[in-house]
Structure 1
């Protein structure tokens, strides 16, 4: 990847690794549906004025069908399904299931005829990343239930295909416009469930409100803008390799900020995840040009 690509990749790896910590703080005092609703509203309030000021709203709405599909696949569906699944599944099992997103993205790209080849080196990198996540999070299958697992698998399908929709059907639409409209739609879907509970925010501590604010400003508004830039810089398949790094960042944040123990799994898993990401994001070597045989 280029320097810009690596910068965006590292930024997204950190920004979407931190929400695990912030959500853990926020849900101690507010319900999950309120957390999702607030982060969507905060993100929309920041991005929608930019969209309007730049005159991008009407052009973006001309692409309302793929925009709505992206919204359902990336936000509205997954956030509801994850909230349901994590009531039953362990965080380690959920993290391992979500780590299959790059494989789903590669399969989806192959099905739609994407020219990007998934080389043995990149496949090996993905496999190494999964091994690293197993070392980081373990494999806790206690209390496993079929419906929550199916819910996470639907999330994986959404996360794996949404960037493909963005790169193929929304390539000419600014990321700020797509993000703001997607956040507005998702907020409207959650509103009937969240508005009766908004009193929870008023009663929350400064710590919880701060977590909600960072979730909305950094992990939603800024993150979505950077995510679109990353997709356009490196392509949807490589962009989704961040799902290997996000759990590692979440574990490190727990060690540094919540005094969680530095385990052997972290010492072994983190280098494996990083090495896997380097391999999985390598650019393909161009095929050698055919050389015409000399004419006798």
Structure 2
């Protein structure tokens, strides 16, 4: 990946590594639908003025059916599934299950996007990451029926994220302003969920911890994260971009184990190490210290252009 790609990758690993921790806090007092509504509404309040000021709304109107479909899959569906799933699954395990995202992208790409198909070492890396996921599900979830139900919901959310990532790379979404797409996605989610939450509102004001969690989810994990994620997909592609879900667990597991006192087992450690190894190999196409990855074509082109203009 390019230097810009790595910077976006690292930023997204943090932005989308912390949400599961704050979702877990929020759903202790609020209905999952209320959590998603509040998160989307806060993000929309931040993003809409930016989109309006930059005259980014009009290009969106011509393609509203695609934007609506993308929003329903990528945010309404996936956010709801994760929030409901976290009622049964620890936050750390949630982020580790979401790490199936890159493999789902690779599987979907077999039929829908030739440019995203992986092979060789990158495919091996994805499979190693999936072995880590299987270790987590087999040992951390075990025979608990409620946890399996929650895990299934979260896997469906990962599917929604994967479909959304592939849609983002296609026209017309890839050609639309990122801020406007993010603003539209959050606005649509807010409108769609409004009727649903009217009967689910809390009977008392939530605690400071929950209100703070909603604010962080809306501003950092959504309003700031979405444009960054769109930029990452545009820079490195869907399959490499979604590999952030292999890195996110480092942040989530740390927060869950140290603050929420969630269980941290040998299976968690083993699965996490396999996921990290798979992340590296699937992103770079190389094994650390054993193979060297070729210089990305974009960097080669830049170098050639620069050398061609030297005096």
Interval of TM-score (by shorter of Structure 1 and Structure 2): 0.7 to 0.9
Q: Equivalents in 1 of 2:246, 2:235: separation in Å?
A: 19
Deviations 1:214-246 (A, max 9, x none): 011101111111110110111011111122222
Greater shift, 136-145 or 223-232, is seen at 136-145
* TM-score, scaled to structure 1: 0.84
When normalised by structure 2's length, the TM-score is 0.80
Partner of 1:289: none
Q: Which moved more, 1:219-228 or 1:25-34?
A: 25-34
Residues 98-247 of structure 1: pairs in structure 2 closer than 5 A: 98-134=98-134, 138-144=139-145, 151-169=153-171, 170-199=173-202, 203-247=205-249
Give a deviation string over 1:162-218, Cα, whole Å, max 9, x none: 111111121111111001101111111111122344455x61121111111101110
Q: Secondary structure in 1 aligned to 2:114?
A: coil
Determine if contact 2:98/2:158 at 8 Å carries over to the other structure.
yes
Contact 2:90 2:262 in 1 (8 A): no
Matched, 1:65 2:68: no
> Cα 1:149–1:14, aligned 2, differ >3 Å: closer, same or farther?
closer
Matched-pair contact (CA < 8 Å) for 1:133–1:248: no
CA contact (8 A) 2:12 2:244 kept: yes
| Structure 1 residue 267 displacement after superposition | 4.3
1:255 alignment counterpart: 257
Tell me the number of residue pairs that the alignment of Structure 1 and Structure 2 aligns. Answer: 285
- Cα deviation 1:222-280 (Å, max 9, x = unaligned): 11111101101110111111222223321111234335565444544444322221111
Tell me if the contact between 1:17 and 1:248 (Cα under 8 Å) persists in the aligned partners. Answer: yes
Contact preservation (8 Å) 1:136, 1:248: no
Residues 163/6 of structure 1: CA separation in 2 closer, same or farther (3 Å cut):
same
- Answer whether contact 2:9 2:232 (CA < 8 A) is retained: yes
